[in-house]
Every structure is written in structure tokens, then in C-alpha cells.
Chains A and B, each alone.
Chain A
Amino acid sequence: MKHYFATHRVKAFFLFAALLVSGTLTAQTYIDDGFLDNIEKNAKSVWDEPSPAFTSNNTPDAWKNESAIIMGYKRSILFDKKSSGGFFTARENSVYFFEKVRFKIKVQDKNSVEHFSEIYFRYGDKQDGFNAHIIKPGGEVQNVDLKEAVSVESTSDVPEFFKSFFDQSYSSQRRYYKVAVSNLEPGDILEYVANTKSNLNVTGAGFVEFTPQYEVCSKSYPVAYNEIDIETDSKSFFKSLSLNGAPEFNKESTDDKDFFKYVFIDKNREIQKDINFINELTVYPVVKFQVIYANKPNAKGVLIGDKGELKKGFSREELAKKAWEDYEAVGDYPYAPGNAYATVQFVINSSWADLKKLGAKEWPEKQYVERAYYYVRHLVVYRDTYLSDKMFAYIFGSLLYQRDIQSELVISISNDIGKLKDVLFDQEIRYAIKLNNQYYFNCTDHSNPGDMVQSLLGNDAYIIYKPAAKTGAQDIKPITLPEVTADDNTAVYNIEASLDAGMNNLSVKRKNTFTGISKAREMDEAMKFTTYMLDDYKYYGGGSPTDNMKSAQADEYQKSTTALKDEFKEAKPEFAKQELQREFGHNVKFSDYKIASDGRSVKNKTLDFTETFELPDITRKAGRKYLLSLTGLVGGQLQIKEEQRDRKLDISVGYPHTLTWNISFKIPDGYTVAGLTELNTNVENEAGKYSCEAKEENGSVVIKIIKCYKQRNVPKENWKNMLAFIDEAYNSSFKYILLKPKS
């Protein structure tokens, strides 16, 4: 409730809890008067810069019905390790960032007025500047008074258009202020300029990589003009790649020969509407770029070009070389964030020592490979973060090496980011291990050796080898990572259902079986609130944690595990109930959840669990007859709305997969069933399939429903094929069968 004044100060505990969760903790001190003396004066230089794109106050007629129009958005960032610009005295151990922003938006309705009623700015240094004004439709300019600005406690609440580039790219916590904009009304133009200085201590650092930027050209409002200028000194390097039709960064000349300037300009960009089956970065116009500070022109493990070069991509030799250098360095990384004492190599050594104690030297090679994988998985189970691909490959590859098993190192890129030729940042390189004909991808808490990973399916990849010591020559073998089919990734729901005597509530026993990537996507939910971690050691042939404990310690362990089991026993039914309610969009009375196979071993890779529950008030009445939607037991189906039926972008399904529902419904005593033939349908094409077969058999209705996404990627021209089976599945989910009394 917005309208209360301060007598409503008694804060409820729940409000506090909600604030902690939602993270809306804000404010709260007024801006120092001393800041106000400088801040507007410091901003003057930005106003004074010639900016033709910002001179007009007119907007295109085509956008008159948009909520707001970004008339101009210009960000200029100068990276400088030396004294420059005359603002300060240089400190040799720091890289300085001078950032200037000019932003101009026309607010055309009350919604955008509300959004820009509060504006944010940074003030962390006496050279920082900020000034904003509004331009009324008649041209009158009204300055935004900053004297009632208040500090913002958490920078995470600062909206996109007000956040400094440096803060976004280096996650720094700077002092931000916000101020309410007086007299802002629909039809007004709001414009602000900001200039800020930041610095980063790089003493002893060989290089500093600033977070890679993916600038998607379309924003939440149409953009008339968007410019990004990056200027670097000779210690910083710049690389950029434009994709899917986005404009490119161009190199421009500068007055100082030791500085390099790169400029990106995008104009008249419409907004993108949300649609289904999209990989944003592979279809939307996007420019990716990164600035790297490096002490040396060829810093190890960094993908950079030459001094002053606008690097737009890397040859496979460059990629392979940098990937190998980076991979080789992993051993010295801290194993856990913030813990510099336990390096990855230390963990590998102790892991190998553990495995040796278990007799690893004597195990057959196949068994050793599996157990080594499970050992790494066990490490992951007891970490609070997953391993990076690179770290996984290094640890697993090293454990194989300890047993003289020669594996190969594979590099690729995520298919939701692009193609291998489009790798621009070393963060985009994915790593895996290949042994004989088997690939080993990064593990999760539940994966098995050889499990496929959705984001790497069918990607181009290289197998890379250690460069020759003398010549540096490196063998590189291009390969394609394996694809999967819809038969590899399955979800099968065997459902037994019956109505209660009141013909009102449907009892359901559902056995769910998952394989492949379908299983991987289901595992977190299925295993949540189960104690899989307690006997995870068995998969690598380890002993119980209590084996080496003294009795007091073992007692304590038992108490802990009992407490954990008790807690999970209570939490699981509620969690499972909530999941089912979400799936069916209907109240659920939950009874039981049993896992027959958790699919966490190579011997049994299938996830298999049964849920027993009741869907109350599920039937509809027609006189003495009842109607029941058994096809509705497939849960909510995707609906493609009218405005999405004209497809302009290629379709990304994610992974091919098949869903099957085998429904057996016991016909209530005293009733006959009708409406089964009306359920039968089969739509199949190269993109997918939906079929439903219904029949009466031994006093039950038996229905088999199959929905299959056959292809991972579907060209936009074949959208009609997708629509054919998706529509059929959606429409079928509303069909009913009729139960008629026999007498």
C-alpha cells in the first residue's frame, strides 16, 4: 500500500523477510552538499561535446504509439594506464576508466513516466559529474534538482540505463544516488549526461580481462541512436564481433598515436517481442566485445590480438594455442573460490592418493575411468558451485594420466552462443575429454560418464594437442561432437487412474521414466530432498565416511544424517505436491513419492520414480453423465498465440526428445464410456509428431499419447511443421471422454 505515512512504522517480521528475499533494500542518506558543488559543473564537458545525434527533439512518427523512445544513448569509455585528460595525477599501478554517458528518452505515456520518475547516478569521486534535464514539448528546458538525492544501498537496484559500464563489467559496488524527477509528464524528453572515473589496481597482474559484453541491439524501448566508443591506451586490447546483422565496431583515428578508438553505432532499432524457441544470441543482432588490459603483448591464456588491432575473431591455431595455455594453467588455480591454499593440482594429488588406497592401480581400465569420473562427481556433490568445463577436464584428464591413460582434449563453444568460428572470449571456450570413442563432459551432481550435454550437441569442435616444445607447432583435429535423436531423450509417464465413488476425484498413480538429456533436466527436481549425497562414495568404490571416524565423531555423523533425512522426509511431499500443482494448474492431494532408480550409475542410467496423488473436482457433469479430460493428464501444453504464428526467426528446440503418456483409466462400475474415437489423432512431419490412440480394454480406457520434437533446430520456413503438431497437442488437451450410466 503506497499511501501510508510514517505512523505506520511498526514493521512486521514478514515484511522484513520479504525484503530480504526480494532484495529491495534501498537508500538511505541524503547527498552531501559538498558533492553538489562539483557534480553539475563536472558534467558540463559532456554537454559541450558535439553530438549531432542528440540535437533534434523530434521522434519518428512510426514510434508514436510506443511507451517511450530512446532518442539517443551514447557511452564512451577510455581505458588508460597513464595520466591522461588532465584530471588527475597518474598512479602507475592502476588502470583508469573515464566513462561518459549521454542518454535521451522521450516518455510518451504514464507507464514510462513512472519508470523514469526516479533517476540514478554515480558519485564516487570528486571528478564525477552528472546533470539531467527535461525538455517540455514547447522546448522549455527544466533542470533536475539533485539536492534531494539520496544514496542507494544496493547497486543491484540501479536500472540498466543508469549503471556505469565499469560497474557492469567489473561488478564493483560504487556509491549511487537516486533522485525524484520533478514535473515529468507524458510527452516530455528526459536527458542526462554523466562522467565518471574509476580505477582498478593492477599491480602485479599480467592481465585483467573485463567481463565480456554482449550488446543486444534491441532494448526495452525502440532506439533511434546507440553509440559505444571504446578508447584504449597501448596497454589495453580490444576485440569485437558483430553477429546476426548487427553493425560492427570500427576503428577510428585518434590525436594521440598511443591511443586507439573503436566506435559502434546502431540506428533505428525496433524492440524484439518475446517469442518461443529462441536462442537470443544466435538470432538477434548482437555485438560482443571485450577490453583486456595486459602488461605484455602476449599474455598467456588470454585471447587477444596485437596492439591497436581490432580483433574480430581467431584462427583455429590461435584458438587452440590459447586454449591449451589456459588449460595448462588450471593446476595452479584455487580449487574453491577464495581459497588460494588448495590448488586444483593439490586436489588432483590427494584424489589420486585416495584412489590408489582403494586399489585403483589394479582396476581394469574401463572400471578405473568410470570410477575416476565418479570421484570427480563426488567432489562436485560436496562443492557449492559446479566445476568449470576447463577445471573438470583438467582434473579428470589428470586422473586418467596418473594411470597412464592417454585421453584427448576437446574444445568447442555452446550452441546457444554461436559457432566455433565465432569464439571471441576465452570464457566461451568449452572443454571436454575424449577417450577412445567416448566423450566425457563436465559433470553435475547426477551425471554419468558419457552423458551428453544439451549445449554442446552437434557442435564443431577441435581436438587439440600439446604444442611441440621447440617449434610450438600444435596438432589440431577438427571434429563434430555427437548428436542425439528423439529416441535418446525420453520421458515416459505410465498413468493408472480411477475415479472415486462420488465420481468427483481422480486417483492417479504415475510412474515416470526418463532417459538422456530429458533425465538430466529432470534430475534436480527428482532428487531434491533426497539423501543421494550420503552414499555417493559408493560409485567410485569408496568407503563410508564413518570408516575412519572415532566413535564420538561417527555418532555425530549419524545424528546429522538422521536430522537431514528427517528434514527431507518432511519437505519432499510438499515439494512434490507443489511441482504437480504447477504442472496441472490444479489442486493436488499428494500421497506418495518413491524412487525406484535414481539413474546415477552407468549400470542403470534411467531415472524412474512413482508419484501417487489425487486430482480433486476433476470431472464435469452433463445431467447424469460425467465428462473427464484424460488427455488433460499430459499437463499444460504450449499454445502458440495468433501474433506468434508468423515466424521471422529460426527455431531452436534445445534438444530432440520424445514424451510418451500411457494412460489406463478404470471405467467406473455402472458406467459405459464414449468419446474415445474422437481422441484419436496422428500428426507427423519432419519436425515432430503428436499422436493419440484411445481404446477400451478390459474395463479400462487405454490411451497412448506421443509428443515428439524430432529436430534440435528447425528453419523458420518449417515453422508450419512445428505448428501442426504443437497445435494438435494443445487442442487435444481440452478433449473429454463421456461416462454414461448404464441404467
Chain B
Amino acid sequence: MMLKRFSKALLLLCISAPAFAQLPADEQTATELSKKYKKEDVACLSSYHYFTFDKGKNALGEKVVVIQEDAEMEFISLKKFATLTYPEFYNRFVQLKVFKKAVKMGSKYITSDRAGIDHAVTEDGVFFDDSRVQYYPLRFDQKGAMQRITLKKEYSDGKYLTRVFFHMPYPVKEQAFEFKVPEWLSVDFKPMNFTGYKIEKTETKKGGYTSYVFVMKDLPPITNEFKSVGRAFRDPHIVIQIKSFEAKGESLKGFDKVDDIYNWNNKLYMMAGNQPDKLKPVLAKILQGKTTEEDKIKAVYYWVQDNIRYIAYEDGYSGYIPSSAQDVLEKKYGDCKGMANLLTEFLKLAGVDAHFTWIGTRSIPYPQSLPALCVNNHAICTIYYKDKEYFLDATEKYVPFGENAFRIQGKEAMIAKGDAFEIKQVPLTTGNEHKVQTNASLALNNNTLTGSVKVTLTGNERTDFQQEYQQLPMTSQKDFLNGMLEFGNDNMQATDIKTSDLSNREVPVTVEGKVNLDNNVNTIAGDKYISIDFFPKTLQRYTPDEKRVTAYDFDYVLTYDDDISLTVPNGWKFTDIPQKLELTSDGYSFKGDYTVVNNTITLRKTLTIKNNIINVSDFANWKKFLESIKEFNKYFLTVTQNAK
């Protein structure tokens, strides 16, 4: 039975016999809210989360703080026909005990018998985990109709309630978090990004408890924008830090200091159960013929990159305890923890000063000084070699020793050293270390441009190329290389491709070949009009419109460096040479210049993204920057005959 692409008409079928009579409980409220949030269908009138604390034991048998969350959200429809899907996530550490939907009829809420729809929500790239969701589709057929969600969640170990955000995907009239803290518990609620927001905090003591209440009003919905900087960098939220608690007269530690986090991480790391002897036969083969320490480090690092596939099992504590090194080696797959563990053990056996390391990628804003589990989301290996730290990320393929992926640059690494630990920062790099350099030498033959192009990639640009190229089917690799020289221009055809040694990840990647470009020369009234500036649309997607509310995060820094020359036949000359353009600001710069020598014109163009973030406050300047580049890109060269 073929489904129709459009069946909105079906809505009208229900009209003559409404299934149930939801009354427009507060149409006026809906009208007011719909004026404020014109694009939204549903708003939340009140969202109240109430957290209570108790004592219990975790799956490892340890005494821990158990947290219960009781929440109630009341939704109102801002349109006659409106839907909203309300999801609630849970896993082995966070149990969803109660999840109910109720529909308001008159002045009363009638609770639905139906359970929420349950699904796994394993992310792409994770083979297996325990993440699940229950959700209710909330459907409204009246403006002002109301529905309510109530839920009860239990955090079987308080460590896993790390933070709460105020903003939701829908507008919220009032968002409140209340924490009822007993006297036996020491807990801290760290405000994050509160500056600029009106968030009311009250503290009340009563009957052996202290209640902390955080209330924020009139919250717009969170927006999902292209290349947006992460929520944790911009949206107000609270990080919950259970510092210590008393149980039967005993004072037990939570996460009060960084040491506590380290001790917890290290305890789980030690549970991996490594058996280094089992690694020795393979290691011996890897190190065969390697005499210097650096050669050994590279041999091991590259072997793990090339031979261990990323497959993640993240079920319960297996999301935190690394697989044993011997298990990862035997299976030839693992997640970041497993790979980091194997790499560390290999290097230790090879005599290298290697250490398992926790780190948060750049998507996380928190420093290691914040004692919370939300600080780190990744595992690598750190080595000390020639009085310097090197950070080895085995999940990154084709990375040369000594270089780091941008996603961990500038981040603090927590390096395991037995009972102690060390925190070191992964070095930052500049845009000049990650280059796409294009050299093209073209000649005009009738109405076709022919010549040669060479593209050179360094730094992360080289690594990105390698990761994409090496993962392609063999049958597609030639087309990919051709595409490197064809600038995404359908009229360009590359032949006779040569590359640098692509099996060597340490040298810059070069791709060069001959090119033939059609449909790029317009002959009008005897003159020729030609463009040799091939990247007019590169940054178009990063032009913010008036609606954009979040900063851009490119997730990289880099430099495009172009040197493109065009030679025209003797007897022809260039006229109307475009003016040069030079723009510099803190985060980005551009320089473009055409020079003519005899019958050859050369475009030298450099664009550097120095800072991966474009803040909203910088949008006006950024737009001006892009407009100027666009204007520079617009130029066609005019080629006329000398006799004219």
C-alpha cells in the first residue's frame, strides 16, 4: 500500500466527532505565549524537579548516596493542532521508576493508562550500551489544552547526577530545581553560566534538612543551529557535587577534591585486570628491528592505530572500566578506554614511561579542578619522553607521533601515576600548522584552461585526509584523489594523479596532477572573461542570519593558502586587475592579491581561521569579513588582445 506524501487532510476527519473533549483551559495564556513564541506549538507552563537524598549501595557494594528525582511538567498547546514528544532518558545507573502522562479535562487531570514508548538510544558509533528512553507523544487538538508529565527517577549512585540544565527544547514559563539536602550530606551546587541570566536561588532550613531552590522564568527554547558551540559553554546549568556524607557515624568521601575523582577513576581503571605477559609475543613482533625509544614508541602507537578497530561496549560499569589490554589485543577492537589501556600497557612493556589518562574533549568546558564525572569523556595515553609529555590518542587514525587532534588540544589531561596523578595541558596549535596549500599553473588554450595543480596538506588537514582516504573502498580512492584537484568544480577534470607516500603518516600529503577546465572562459565580443578564484562558496554556510543566537564552533583551525597562475597566449593581456584585499582580526585573517608579469597573472590568497569560535558579539565583524571575501571572489579577469 503506497503511503501518500501528504495526509494533513486526515486531521479534518476527526472534526465531526472529537475523540475527547479537551477544554481550552487557558486560551488566554496560550494566546499570550504564542505571541511571544511565534514558531512554537507547545510551551511548558511549569517544570518542577524535586531531588531527595538517601543512603544506599552501588553495584560494586560501596556505600553511596542515592538520589530520587520527582518531577512534574505541565504543558499547554499554543495552537489548535499541536504535538510534542516528551522523552525521558535512563540507563543502569538512572532508573525510571514512574513515568505518566495526564490530560486535563475541565479542571482535572486524567492520567493515561498507556505506558511511555520505550526504546534503546544507542548512539551511532557505539556497538552496545544501556541507554534507553521512554517517551510520550503529547497531542493537542485545542489551543490552550493542557497535559502533564510526572516522573520519578532514581540515581543508584549520586555520582551519576552530574548536572541539570534550565533550558529545554520548548519554551518554559518557570523552571525550578529543588534539592532537599539532609544534614548527613555535604553537597555543593555549582552555578555555571549564570551570568546574564536571572536565576533566583533560595535556601531554607527546616527539620534537619536544607532546601536549595533554583528558579528561572520565561525561558526560550534551546535552538539547534549549524556548528553551534556546545550547550555547556553557553546555557546556565548546575553541576551537582556530592562532597561527603556520613553513614553510621562514618564519614565517607564523595567528590570533594580532584583527588577524589582521580581515586574513583583510577579504581575503575585498575579493575581492567591487565595481564601484561599476554601482550609480549605481539609486542616483540611490533618492536622487531626498532632500536631507539622513539622508533619503539612510533611502532607501537601506529600499530594500535592501524590494527585496533573502534567498537564500543558501554553497558553499566563497562562504560567506565576499560577492557583489559589482552582482551582488546585478542579481539582487535575496543573503545577509547580499551585502546588507551592497550597502548599504555604495550608502551610500559617496551620500557616507555607511559600512563593511562582521562581527558574531556573540547565539547566540555570544565577544568580538571572541578570534581565531577562530567569533566572527562575520553581516555588516552600520556608518555614522558625526553623531558616532555606526549599525548597519544589511539582512537585517532593516521596521527603522527607528536601531533594531537584538535578536539583535545588545550584541554587538561588527568594522568594516572599510581596513587598520585598529574594534570597537564595538551598544547594548542595555530591555524598555520594545519594547511591546505594549493598551487595551480594554468594556461588558456582556446576556451579551455589546462595545466597542473598540486595540493599539499599539513597538520590536522593531512590527518583528516588520511582518515577519509584510507577508509574508502579501493574502487573510490581514485575519484577521491581526482576530487582533491578538481576543487568541487564539475567542469574540472584531473588526470595523471601522483601522490606523496600515503603510507607514511608523518610527511605532508601531496596530490598533484594535470587538469582540464571547461565552461570557465566566457568569450564576449572578442574578449575573454575568466575566474581563477575557485573557492567562492567555502564559508557561505557560516554566514549568520538575523535569527542566529549561538556562536559558531568550527571545531578546527586552519589556513588555506592558494597560489594560482594563469598564462594567456602571446598577444593577449590582462585588463581590469582586481584590487588586493587584506583583512586581519583576532580570530581570522585574509589576504588576496593578483600580480601580473608579462602574460601571466598570479592569484595569491591566504585565509586563516585562527580561533575556532566565532562569538555572537563578533558576528557583525565576521559578516563584514565574509562579505569582503565574497566581493573579492566575484572578480573575473578580463583578457583582451594587445591590438585593442
Contacts and interface: CB of A to CB of B under 8 A. Distances in A.
A587 B540 contact: yes
Contacts of B13: 382
B123 interface: yes
A566 B470 CA distance: 51
Contact of A148 (B121, B125, B313, B377): B313
Contacts of A109: 473-474
Given A4-B361, A25-B119, A559-B80, A16 B135 contact: yes
Contact of A65 (B91, B169, B474, B630): B474
Contact of B529 (A2, A117, A553, A622): A622
Q: Interface residue tally of chain A, by bracket?
A: 35 or more
Interface in B55-112: 79-81, 85, 87, 89, 91, 93
A535 to B, nearest CB: 12
A549 B15 CA distance: 11
B471 A16 contact: no
B20 interface: no
Given A182-B330, A675-B524, A734-B519, A627 B529 contact: yes
A6 B129 contact: yes
Interface in B626-644: 630, 634-638
Interface string A136-179: 00000000000010100100000000000000000000000010
Contact of A735 (B9, B471, B522): B522
A265 B11 CA distance: 51
A556 B471 CA distance: 58
Nearest to A532: B9
A15 B522 contact: no
B493 A11 contact: no
Contacts of A1: 125, 361, 363, 407
Contact of B576 (A14, A118, A566, A625): A625
A184 B493 CA distance: 37
A235 to B, nearest CB: 27
A736 interface: yes
A3 B378 contact: yes
A445 B2 CA distance: 13
Interface in A4-26: 4-17, 19-20, 24-26
A553 B636 CA distance: 65
Given A183-B331, A383-B4, A620-B636, A5 B379 contact: yes
A678 interface: yes
Top 10 A-B pairs, shortest CB-CB distance: A6-B319, A623-B576, A563-B80, A67-B473, A675-B524, A2-B125, A533-B9, A734-B519, A182-B331, A3-B395
Contacts of B313: 148
B379 A10 contact: no
A385 interface: yes
Given A4-B377, A560-B81, A587-B540, 10 more contacts: A3-B335, A16-B87, A27-B129, A28-B129, A66-B474, A150-B127, A557-B15, A734-B491, A734-B519, A736-B529
A16 B133 contact: yes
A473 interface: no
A434 to B, nearest CB: 23
Interface in A419-478: 445
Contacts of A627: 522, 529, 636
Interface in B309-323: 309-315, 319-320
B168 A13 contact: yes
Contacts of A622: 529, 576, 635-638
Contacts of B491: 734
A178 B311 CA distance: 12
A544 interface: no
B87 A13 contact: yes
Contact of B231 (A12, A111, A178, A620): A12
A639 interface: yes
A33 interface: no
B505 interface: no
A642 B478 CA distance: 14
Contacts of B525: 674-675, 738
Contacts of B85: 17, 20
Interface in A599-634: 617, 619-625, 627
A111 B472 contact: yes
Contacts of B81: 560, 563-564, 567
Contacts of B162: 7, 10
B332 A183 contact: yes
A560 B332 contact: no
Contacts of A80: none
B4 A678 contact: no
A16 B121 contact: yes
B395 A384 contact: no
Given A28-B128, A109-B473, A111-B471, A560 B540 contact: no
Contact of A183 (B120, B320, B330): B330
A564 B12 contact: yes
Contacts of A9: 89, 91, 93, 131, 160, 319
Contact of A524 (B6, B130, B473, B637): B6
Nearest to A536: B9
B471 A15 contact: no
Interface in A491-550: 524, 528, 533-534, 545, 549
B332 A182 contact: yes
B634 A619 contact: yes
Contacts of A737: 524
Contact of B127 (A12, A66, A118, A625): A118
Interface in B573-593: 575-576, 578
Contact of A15 (B6, B121, B475): B121
17 contacts: A2-B312, A3-B378, A5-B379, A9-B93, A16-B121, A25-B122, A27-B120, A180-B333, A382-B10, A382-B13, A383-B7, A533-B9, A553-B15, A560-B81, A567-B81, A675-B524, A734-B519
Nearest to A179: B127
Contacts of A3: 310, 335-336, 361, 378, 393, 395
A110 interface: yes
Interface string A561-589: 11110110000000000000000000100
A2 B6 contact: no
Nearest to A731: B519
A24 B524 contact: no
B58 to A, nearest CB: 15
B490 interface: yes
Interface string B222-238: 10100000010000000
B386 interface: no
Interface string A704-743: 0000000000000000000000000011001111100000
A384 B363 contact: no
Contacts of A7: 162, 319-320, 373-374, 376-377
A386 interface: yes
A381 interface: yes
A112 interface: yes
Contacts of A2: 125-126, 310, 312, 395
Contacts of B335: 3, 5
B539 interface: no
Contact of A110 (B80, B124, B470, B576): B470
B475 A117 contact: no
B361 A731 contact: no
A560 B128 CA distance: 45
B121 A19 contact: yes
B337 interface: yes
Contact of B635 (A114, A182, A620): A620
Interface in B158-182: 160, 162-163, 168-169
Interface string B370-397: 0001101111000000000000010100
- With most chain A CB atoms within 10 A of its CB, the pick from B119, B337, B407 is B119
B2 A385 contact: yes
A533 B10 CA distance: 10
Interface in A230-274: none
A185 interface: yes
